[in-house]
């Protein structure tokens, strides 16, 4: 797909592509893949990558768990980024949340040994669930690494983070590695 053997990082929920574009520009020795379900965001992010000449990045408009299950090889991903996933705050919608046991099984399968999962959210109740699910998985909890594209005082440097910071929302982060 990329014509090289560089490491692959996947971002789930690329939004407008701010994080993905900045990472692809800063790290040409890494291949990036962005997944987005919302058509408008996917088109915007894909065009942003094109305009910035990010030939080391690809995108797909697809449901994330399906994509991981059907298209990602075992032990092929170095980092999986999940920033500000939809919290589906109503109790009847919790079953739609991404970070659940079936997702974590796929994460453990697709990450290379030593591969990393990074998650940031602004939703405390969802974070409490994420924390439990990640801790119950075979991954080991480690310190969250702030990406180099994040500005001073930022966790990630996405449009959502910047918007939520202006609103005064707190952020919650967790990271884990496959041993």
Positions marked catalytic: 86
Alpha-carbon span 139 to 118, nearest angstrom: 12
DSSP H helical ranges for the chain: 18-26, 39-51, 64-71, 101-110, 124-135, 159-166
Q: If DSSP codes are grouped into helix, strand and coil, which group holds residue 151?
A: coil
Alpha-carbon span 146 to 83, nearest angstrom: 12
The burial class, CB within 10 Å (0-12 / 13-18 / 19+), for 147 is buried
DSSP H helical ranges for 115-155: 124-135
Alpha-carbon span 95 to 100, nearest angstrom: 9
């Amino acid at each position: 797909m990329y014509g090289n053997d560089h490491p692959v990082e996947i971002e789930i929920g690329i939004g407008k592509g701010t994080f993905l574009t900045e990472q692809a520009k800063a790290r040409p020795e890494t291949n990036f893949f962005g997944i987005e379900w919302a058509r408008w965001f996917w088109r915007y992010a894909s065009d942003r990558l094109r305009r910035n000449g990010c030939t080391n990045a690809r995108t797909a408009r697809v449901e994330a768990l399906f994509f991981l299950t059907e298209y990602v090889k075992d032990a092929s991903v170095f980092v999986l980024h999940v920033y500000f996933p939809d919290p589906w705050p109503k109790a009847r919608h919790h079953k739609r949340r991404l970070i659940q046991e079936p997702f974590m099984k796929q994460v453990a399968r697709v990450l290379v040994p030593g591969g990393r999962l990074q998650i940031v959210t602004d939703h405390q109740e969802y974070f409490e669930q994420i924390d439990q699910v990640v801790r119950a998985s075979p991954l080991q909890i480690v310190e969250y690494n702030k990406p180099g594209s994040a500005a001073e005082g930022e966790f990630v440097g996405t449009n959502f983070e910047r918007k939520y910071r202006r609103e005064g929302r707190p952020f919650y982060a967790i990271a884990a590695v496959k041993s």
